[in-house]
Amino acid sequence: MTKNTGNTAGTATTGRTEKQGEQQNEQQAPSVLDNFRPLIVDVAVPLGSYYLFKNAFGMSTFAALAWSSVVPAVRTVWSLVKERRTNALAGLILFVNVVSLLLSFVAGDPRLMLAKDGAVSSTVGIGILVSVVLGRPMMSEGMKPFVLKGDPAKAAAWHRLTSGASVRSVAFRRKEMAFSLVWGVALLAECVMRVVGAYTVPIDTMVWLGTVLTVGTLALAFVVSGGLAVEPMEKMLAAEVEAAAEAEKAAVTVAA
């Protein structure tokens, strides 16, 4: 009787623990709004505020572009202050934006303000390409969480592949380099298109077209880098995990 009661109590406790864990996961899971908040703040707010300032308040094109850049700048600063840590990429983007904005005010040229958005893409793109040349592809850290998915076996396999301890290491590193290379080239291409568009396309058109260029570039980079690098890397990771599992089984069999 006592034994059954203990099992029942343990089952109840386990049930409560699992339920609490599920509730915590639900609380921690980001909502749709959380996922799209950066897109809303960085794209929708600046674009919408530009037309609001220009059409509703009658501001000049230059003034409307200047004021519509305030929100992204404030968001970047706030992120740095809130996180209380140095983020190299965020700091780089903030620096380029601030300098470009100041130069635009001095020049008083709204087209320069449109072209300056490409400075971020070009700077980041060059940084990525330099990292490839140095053999330390910058985009790998951003790709790892999506490929590993928190799997310790895949994390160990990634380490073996990138450290040269696997027969697949050379091929894996090539794909890793290719991933960053695609993104570096894509960002540089976007910069060129932005600058050309800023001085050849009507300003009102370029305001929304710039967003289209950004979204299109990101989408194309995702597709190309996914097929060229991510998918082959996932297959190599799976093969490495399987090889490690088989080696472990063989070691256990020999020991037995």
pLDDT digits (tens, 9 = 90+) for 170-227: 999 999 999 999 999 998 998 899 889 989 988 888 878 887 888 888 889 989 999 9
Average pLDDT of 134-154?
A: 85
Return d(Cα 8, Cα 155) in angstroms, integer: 38
Average pLDDT of 37-54?
A: 66
CB 178 within 8 A of CB 229: yes
Provide the pLDDT for residue 151: 87
CB 50 within 8 A of CB 207: yes
CB 107 within 8 A of CB 151: no
Q: Does residue 138 surpass a pLDDT of 50?
A: yes
Top mean pLDDT of 2-16, 92-106, 136-150, 217-231 is at 217-231
Provide the pLDDT for residue 25: 45
CB 194 within 8 A of CB 110: no
Provide the pLDDT for residue 169: 92
pTM (2 d.p.): 0.63
- Of the chain, the percentage scoring pLDDT greater than 70 comes to 65
Provide the pLDDT for residue 238: 92
Phi then psi for residue 68, to 5 deg, are: -70, -10
- Quick one: tokens of 112? 């320069």
Place of tokens 């020999």: 254
**Separation of first and last alpha carbons in the chain:** 41
97-115 core/surface letters (b: 16 or more CB in 10 A; e: else): beebbeebeeeebbbbbbb
Average pLDDT of 139-164?
A: 87
Q: Does residue 233 surpass a pLDDT of 60?
A: yes
Place of tokens 């386990």: 14
